[in-house]
Amino acid sequence: MNCNSTLTPLIPSRYPLIQAPMAGAQGSAMALAVCAAGGVGSLPAAMLSPEALQAELQVLRTQAAGPWNVNFFCHTPPQPDPAAESRWREALRPFYEEAGIDPARVPAGGGRVPFSRAVADIVEPFAPPVVSFHFGLPAPDLLARVKSWGSVVLSSATTVEEALWLQAHGVDAVIAQGLEAGGHRGMFLTSELGTQIGTFALLPQIVSAVKLPVIAAGGIADADGVRAAMALGAAGVQVGTAYLCCPEATTSALHRQALMSEAARHTELTTLFSGRPARGIVNRLMRELGPLHPAAPAFPMATAAVAPLRAHFEALGRTDCSPLWSGQNASGCRNAPAAEITAALARGFE
Ligand X SMILES: Cc1cc2nc3c(=O)[nH]c(=O)nc-3n(C[C@H](O)[C@H](O)[C@H](O)COP(=O)(O)O)c2cc1C
Contacting residues toward ligand X, per CB under 6 A: 20-23, 25, 44, 46, 71, 134, 156, 177, 180-184, 217-220, 238-241, 325, 327, 329
Q: Are the C-beta atoms of 314 and 254 separated by less than 8 Å? A: yes
Amino acid at 206: I
With 0-12 / 13-18 / 19 or more C-beta atoms within 10 angstroms meaning exposed / middle / buried, residue 49 is exposed
Q: Closer CB to ligand X, residue 182 or residue 204?
A: 182
Report the C-alpha gap between 286 and 238 in whole angstroms: 27
Report the C-alpha gap between 165 and 157 in whole angstroms: 9
Q: Closer CB to ligand X, residue 99 or residue 157?
A: 157
Q: Closer CB to ligand X, residue 94 or residue 335?
A: 335
Minimum distance, C-beta of residue 241 to ligand X, in the bound complex (Å)? 3
Q: Closer CB to ligand X, residue 279 or residue 312?
A: 279
Minimum distance, C-beta of residue 193 to ligand X, in the bound complex (Å)? 16
Q: Closer CB to ligand X, residue 167 or residue 241?
A: 241
Minimum distance, C-beta of residue 255 to ligand X, in the bound complex (Å)? 8
Report the C-alpha gap between 108 and 225 in whole angstroms: 41
Q: Are the C-beta atoms of 213 and 173 separated by less than 8 Å? A: yes
Q: Closer CB to ligand X, residue 106 or residue 155?
A: 155
Minimum distance, C-beta of residue 105 to ligand X, in the bound complex (Å)? 29
Helix H or strand E segment including 199: helix 199-209
| Phi, then psi, of 226 in degrees rounded to 5 | -60, -45
Residue number closest to ligand X, CB atom: 240
Q: Closer CB to ligand X, residue 93 or residue 250?
A: 250
Whether omega for the bond prior to residue 103 falls within 30 degrees of 0, making it cis, is: no
Minimum distance, C-beta of residue 46 to ligand X, in the bound complex (Å)? 5
Residue 224's Cβ-side half-sphere holds a number of Cα atoms within 13 Å equal to 3
Minimum distance, C-beta of residue 58 to ligand X, in the bound complex (Å)? 20
Minimum distance, C-beta of residue 278 to ligand X, in the bound complex (Å)? 8
Report the C-alpha gap between 27 and 53 in whole angstroms: 10
Report the C-alpha gap between 9 and 266 in whole angstroms: 38
